[in-house]
Amino acid sequence: MVSSGLFVNLCIFSFFVSIMIAIRIFLLQRLAHKYKWMSGIYASIVSAILMVYSVTYQQITYDLRFLPLILTVLYFGYRAGAVAGITMAVCSIYLESHWLLTILILIFTFLFSLPLIRYRKQFSLLKQSLLCFFIHFIVHVLLTNYFWNTPIQSPFYSEVEYLVFGILGLGIAVATIEFYRKFYAVAEEAAYAGSDSCKDEEDSFFIRIMKKELEYTKEQLESFINHHMDAVIITDLEGRILRVNEAYEKVYGWKAHEVIGKKYYDIAGAFSEDVHENIKKTVAEKEAINRVEVVRARKDGSLVDLRITISPIFNGKDELVGLSGVCVDISEAKKAKQELDLLHRKLKESELKYRTLFEYANDAIYLLEIGSNHFPSRFIEVNEAGCKRFGYTREELLSMPCHHIIPRDSDIVQKTVEEIRQGNLSFTLQSQFTFKSGEIKKLEYSGKLFNIENKKVLLIVSRDRTEYLKTEELLQKSEKLAAVGQLATAIAHEIRNPLTAIKGFMQLLTEKASKEELTYMNIISSEIERIEMITDEFMSVAKPQAVTFQSIDLRLLIQQVILLLQPQATMKNIFIELHSYGELPLVYCESNQMKQVFINILKNAIEAMPSGGEIKVELRQKDNNHLHIQIIDEGVGISKDRIKHLGEPFYSIKEDGIGLGLMICFNIIQQHKGTLSIESEVNKGTNVEICLPLK
């Protein structure tokens, strides 16, 4: 039933299209182009007739009333289409009960078809008509079946029938009209060619065809220039501006009427020298200058970076008649390139710093790939210190499996694998390892686990702690011995005083004692002598041991001590800085004892700075005979009433201290005939100054 009704509509629509062409041929001639609103009224009359012969199926009305409206918009513009639409809406109010649905479909079809105005020249009339009808069909289906209150939904096949008859009707109408237009144009040209006015010019028919082709080409050229996204400038051979596009106005800030007729040199201002040279070169060589990067001034005086291409323009006789320039704004691209170059430079600098830190680090650094079993499989990278420690070259280490260098059953591997299996991403361990040379070293190493290209990688920083542990052990022994010696001295001193008194009284009693009493007196005297002998043995413990003095570089010795204590300082966020002023002479001293002095003082400074900070160690020669060392920290400081007790046996300001460290330092400096002084202020830090003789 829907098909039969739509077929009647199609026949009526085709008939009135033919009537319209007949009216234009025999009655109106060019009247339709001058009075487009008449075309709109005619289209609305045809739509009203199609409404009368519409077909209703399941309370939905089907007809081809919108086809005349679409043709009116395409051939006579949106103004004529608006006239036809308004008139059709009025007719719908009088002829239909569901007139509101028709008006809504009309409005939304008109609104959604507006974007075609900008791009209509890119499509043929047939394609334009089909696009418009397809937009109308979508609006019709959505409003009729989904947004309009109908008790029964229209079946799918009825909508398909409406789509097919609509496409068929538009195809017939557009084909008929276009055939008529082309036939009329050919007939008009033929009539003009056979007229008397054309007999004097044999080629006038072809000239008119050429003029039309030229006009068409000119339209295309105008469209190309106006819609080009880059600035386009056309000048004569002297550089006088003939034409610019909208993009030129945006780039330079000049309006077209402000620059046309002026020479480009004047517009370029201070940058006219290269403009003149480029124009002269193009005119002389008659070849294009491609992609020249220049700087130009805008109207407001700001600068813009451009990439310019200058091309020659020739006439039909191959004569150079003008120049065209295309200017591409590359300011953002150039800025992005500068930022990218800066980023690359920073990356290179960062990489250089990394390589320097990696290659010249005193600690051994390894980058290991971790296998699926959590064991290290191979070396990815290793620094020079790591190569020396294992006794292989870098190429050998990178080419060998990891277990050929470090056995899997070794303590160092087992501890590392255990940390990885527990899910620890970073850890610090200590272990002992026997190297290829047979040397046994005690190592402290830190590990960091992360991913590179979906592979587990372990970064290991390993430090040799063998000498440090030996020094620490010797230091502990030294402190114990010093404590025993100080204790022995104190005990011996306290025992000798009463012994002296006892011996004196024993001598007095011996003179008056009887023979029997004298026997007892001799026994007591022998025991007193025995006590004195034991006391002397106690005193010998506190006597200085034999030491070997030699000339040493004190700056190098302090550097070794700083290196020894650096891990402890780093853990507390403390930076130890060494400064030496001028060329320092060698100092005649005992290196181990001096090392013990600096270790004790620096450890005290580190422990006095729980919040981190900086420790300065300064060396300078104040006169020809003495070298001064200052150790300055930013710690909690020491009150004045406590400073005077520093260096006394068993006196300490630390909770867990035993009060022997500074006592040992004072004794060693005294044995070297030097001085040690301490200045401090609470919450501002401590300054320890040591003065040593050079000879």
Question: How many C-beta atoms lie closer than 10 Å to residue 77's C-beta?
Answer: 14
Q: What pLDDT was estimated at residue 654?
A: 63
Q: What pLDDT was estimated at residue 629?
A: 92
* Residue 561 and residue 594 in contact, taking contact as beta carbons nearer than 8 Å: no
* Residue 230 and residue 328 in contact, taking contact as beta carbons nearer than 8 Å: yes
Assign 648 a pLDDT band (cuts: 50, 70, 90). Answer: low
DSSP 29: T
- What is the average per-residue pLDDT within 113-126? 68
Q: What pLDDT was estimated at residue 631?
A: 92
Q: What pLDDT was estimated at residue 118?
A: 61
Residues 6+ apart with CB under 8 A from 348: none
In single-letter form, the type of residue at position 357 comes to L
- What is the average per-residue pLDDT within 280-307? 76
The whole-model pTM stands at 0.31
Q: What pLDDT was estimated at residue 542?
A: 52
The residues that bridge with 296 in the sheet, in sequence order, are 304
Identify which has the larger pLDDT, 306 or 26: 306
Q: What pLDDT was estimated at residue 151?
A: 45
Q: What pLDDT was estimated at residue 474?
A: 62
Q: What pLDDT was estimated at residue 590?
A: 83
Q: What pLDDT was estimated at residue 29?
A: 47
Q: Please state the separation of Cα 263 from the chain's center in Å.
A: 46
The residues that bridge with 429 in the sheet, in sequence order, are 445
Q: What pLDDT was estimated at residue 617?
A: 92
Q: What pLDDT was estimated at residue 30?
A: 47
Residues 6+ apart with CB under 8 A from 379: 366, 367, 368, 369, 397, 398, 400, 402, 405
- Classify the C-alpha dihedral 260-264-268-270 as positive or negative: negative
Lowest mean pLDDT among 266-275, 342-351, 430-439, 680-689: 266-275
Lowest mean pLDDT among 218-227, 338-347, 445-454: 218-227
What six digits make up the tokens of 115? 């974007």
Q: What pLDDT was estimated at residue 99?
A: 77
Q: What pLDDT was estimated at residue 630?
A: 92
Lowest mean pLDDT among 57-66, 89-98, 385-394, 537-546: 537-546
Query: E strands of 525-636, at which residues?
Result: 550-552, 574-580, 587-589, 613-621, 626-632
- What is the average per-residue pLDDT within 432-440? 78
Residue 659 pLDDT greater than 70, yes or no: no
Class of residue 179 by CB neighbours under 10 A (exposed 0-12, middle 13-18, buried 19+): exposed
Residue 149 pLDDT greater than 70, yes or no: no
* Residue 635 and residue 685 in contact, taking contact as beta carbons nearer than 8 Å: yes
DSSP 27: I
- What is the average per-residue pLDDT within 249-254? 82
CA pair distance 615, 569, nearest whole angstrom: 10
Identify which has the larger pLDDT, 67 or 693: 693
- What is the average per-residue pLDDT within 559-571? 84
Q: Please state the separation of Cα 149 from the chain's center in Å.
A: 56
Phi then psi for residue 184, to 5 deg, are -65, -40
Residue 594 pLDDT greater than 60, yes or no: yes
Assign 645 a pLDDT band (cuts: 50, 70, 90). Answer: low
- What is the average per-residue pLDDT within 527-541? 61
pLDDT digits (tens, 9 = 90+) for 393-402: 888 888 888 8
CA pair distance 126, 174, nearest whole angstrom: 6
Helices (H) and strands (E) in the chain, counts: 24, 19
- What is the average per-residue pLDDT within 327-354? 79
Rg (the chain; Cα; Å): 53
Q: What pLDDT was estimated at residue 618?
A: 92
CA pair distance 398, 385, nearest whole angstrom: 15
**Where are the alpha helices (H) located in 322-410, listed in sequence order?**
331-359, 384-390, 394-399, 402-405
Q: What pLDDT was estimated at residue 292?
A: 75
CA pair distance 579, 565, nearest whole angstrom: 17
Assign 437 a pLDDT band (cuts: 50, 70, 90). Answer: confident
Residue 585 pLDDT greater than 70, yes or no: yes
Question: How many C-beta atoms lie closer than 10 Å to residue 345's C-beta?
Answer: 10
CA angle 488, 494, 496 (to 5 degrees): 95
pLDDT digits (tens, 9 = 90+) for 182-222: 776 666 555 555 554 444 444 455 556 556 666 666 676 67
Q: What pLDDT was estimated at residue 546?
A: 54
- What is the average per-residue pLDDT within 260-288? 68
Residue 534 pLDDT greater than 60, yes or no: no
Identify which has the larger pLDDT, 678 or 55: 678
Identify which has the larger pLDDT, 688 or 46: 688
Q: What pLDDT was estimated at residue 33?
A: 47
Q: What pLDDT was estimated at residue 691?
A: 92
Phi-psi region of 256 (alpha: psi -120 to 50; beta: other; left: phi over 0): alpha
Assign 427 a pLDDT band (cuts: 50, 70, 90). Answer: confident
What six digits make up the tokens of 94? 């009088």
pLDDT digits (tens, 9 = 90+) for 130-140: 888 788 788 87
- What is the average per-residue pLDDT within 341-346? 82
- What is the average per-residue pLDDT within 49-63? 75
CA pair distance 318, 172, nearest whole angstrom: 47
Q: What pLDDT was estimated at residue 203?
A: 47
Q: Which among 502, 583, 509, 593 has a CA at the least distance from the CA of 544?
A: 593
Q: What pLDDT was estimated at residue 611?
A: 84
Q: Which of 143-157, 268-282, 359-373, 488-502 has the highest mean pLDDT?
A: 359-373
CA angle 617, 622, 626 (to 5 degrees): 90
Q: What is the mean pLDDT of the chain?
A: 76
**Where are the alpha helices (H) located in 114-245, listed in sequence order?**
116-119, 125-142, 156-194, 204-227
Identify which has the larger pLDDT, 251 or 659: 251
